[in-house]
């Protein structure tokens, strides 16, 4: 999303200069996507990559992130289906197509597609949970505020409130000012190393797929400042709504998240209006739903959702954070 720094080889004057540039500006800060990649992307149409797995009584709506695709929620969907849930992967408006397709939409369009998917699922299932990755987690919280008491529980994966991960360029704090300029609105921000993925083989595949312009499988290579500005507006809105989120929430994040530090999760736990459980994962990066601990994401989510179904709605809505999670919350607050 924001160009991130790789790990250049150490040694030599040139290497030290590259390390300085990567640290403060990110890799290829002025590059943008190649003209050929953009032309190929514009030829694409938007396929439907939404999915359903399982036939359980309780359902889970899965929401992918900005510039992402339902494919990044497939592994979790299949895993939850094996755990006895019906898993629905929805597709955000403007996604899985070209950059122009994304530019035709904003955060209200993205949310409208979430609302539509949730309403359709609610007609089929009495118990509906909602889980989202990155911006998808913001969408899940916003949905729960619009429909208080209707969502049995939330899975908040790698929630993006602050871009403060270890791979985010140090000059990212200037981003709000840059996005207000004419140049910033049209500037192309490129997905870059390590693409939120710790697994090297998977990372190479995602990189090759994005470069090829296959946005339906790996998401868009990048996005313009206009889309990023929409995201920042939505983040600002959801921050004001977090205290009104009463649904029980499972907060999952990688300890070494390259995009958003665990301080995002700690912020959530301190401000959510309902009970919350936090778990920090130690062998993955931002894309926890596809990375090396995706099975752990499934296990923790299924365990949490089942506990919510077993607890009466009135009790779940009024209880404070369960005592058995207090030590985990304290650990998160001590993070640097």
Q: Give the residue-averaged pLDDT of 197-222.
A: 70
Q: Residue 199: pLDDT above 80?
A: yes
Looking at every residue in the chain, the average pLDDT score rounds to 79
Q: Which two tokens mark 102?
A: 């994304």
Classify residue 304 as exposed, middle or buried by CB count within 10 Å of its CB (0-12, 13-18, 19+).
buried
Q: How confident is the model at residue 196 (pLDDT cuts 50, 70, 90)?
A: confident
> Considering the entire predicted model, what is its pTM?
0.77
Report percent pLDDT > 90 for the chain. 54
Both ends of the chain: CA-CA distance in Å?
24
Mean pLDDT of 41-48: 65
pLDDT the model gives residue 134: 96
Question: Could you tell me the residue ranges of all domains in the chain?
Answer: 13-333
CATH class for the region spanning 13-333 = alpha beta
Is the predicted pLDDT of residue 331 greater than 50, yes or no? no
Distance CA 92, CA 87 (A): 16
Question: What own/partner pairs with CB < 8 Å and gap ≥ 24 does 47-50 have?
Answer: 47/96, 47/97, 47/216, 48/91, 48/96, 49/89, 49/91, 49/96, 49/216, 50/88, 50/89, 50/90, 50/91, 50/117
- Cβ distance 3 to 30 under 8 Å? no
pLDDT of 130-150, one tens digit each? 999 999 999 999 999 999 999
- Portion of the chain with pLDDT greater than 70, in percent: 68
Minimum mean pLDDT range among 58-67, 94-103, 149-158, 179-188: 179-188
Residue 207 has pLDDT above 60, yes or no: yes
Query: What CA–CA distance (Å, rounded) separates 146 from 130?
Result: 13
Q: pLDDT band at residue 204, thresholds of 50, 70 and 90?
A: confident
Q: Is the pLDDT of residue 317 over 50?
A: no
Quick one: angle between helices 294-310 and 74-82, nearest 10?
50
Mean pLDDT across 112-125: 97
Closest CA to 261 of 168, 171, 190: 168
């Amino acid at each position: 999303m924001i160009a991130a720094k790789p790990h250049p080889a150490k040694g030599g004057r040139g290497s030290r200069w590259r390390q300085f540039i990567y640290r403060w500006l990110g890799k290829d800060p002025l590059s943008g996507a190649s003209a050929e990649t953009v032309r190929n992307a514009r030829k694409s149409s938007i396929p439907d990559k939404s999915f359903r797995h399982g036939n359980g009584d309780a359902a889970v709506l899965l929401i992918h992130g900005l510039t992402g695709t339902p494919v990044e929620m497939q592994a979790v969907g299949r895993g939850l289906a094996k755990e006895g849930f019906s898993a629905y992967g929805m597709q955000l408006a403007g996604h899985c197509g070209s950059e122009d397709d994304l530019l035709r939409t904003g955060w209200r369009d993205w949310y409208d597609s979430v609302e539509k998917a949730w309403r359709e699922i609610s007609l089929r299932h009495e118990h509906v949970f909602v889980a989202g990755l990155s911006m998808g987690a913001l969408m899940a919280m916003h949905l729960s505020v619009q429909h208080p008491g209707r969502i049995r529980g939330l899975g908040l994966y790698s929630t993006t409130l602050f871009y403060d991960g270890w791979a985010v360029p140090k000059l990212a704090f200037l981003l709000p000012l840059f996005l207000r300029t004419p140049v910033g609105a049209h500037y192309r921000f490129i997905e870059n190393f390590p693409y939120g993925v710790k697994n090297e083989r998977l990372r190479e595949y995602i990189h090759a797929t994005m470069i090829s312009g296959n946005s339906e499988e790996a998401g868009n290579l990048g996005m313009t400042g206009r889309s990023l500005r929409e995201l920042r507006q939505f983040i600002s809105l959801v921050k004001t709504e977090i205290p009104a989120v009463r649904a029980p929430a499972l907060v999952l994040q990688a300890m070494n998240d390259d995009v958003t530090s665990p301080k995002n999760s700690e912020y959530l736990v301190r401000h959510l209006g309902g009970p919350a459980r936090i778990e920090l994962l130690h062998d993955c990066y931002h894309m926890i739903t596809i990375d090396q601990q995706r099975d752990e994401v499934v296990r923790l989510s299924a365990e949490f959702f089942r506990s919510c179904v077993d607890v009466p709605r009135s009790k779940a809505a009024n209880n404070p954070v369960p005592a058995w999670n207090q030590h985990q919350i304290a650990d998160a607050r001590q993070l640097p």
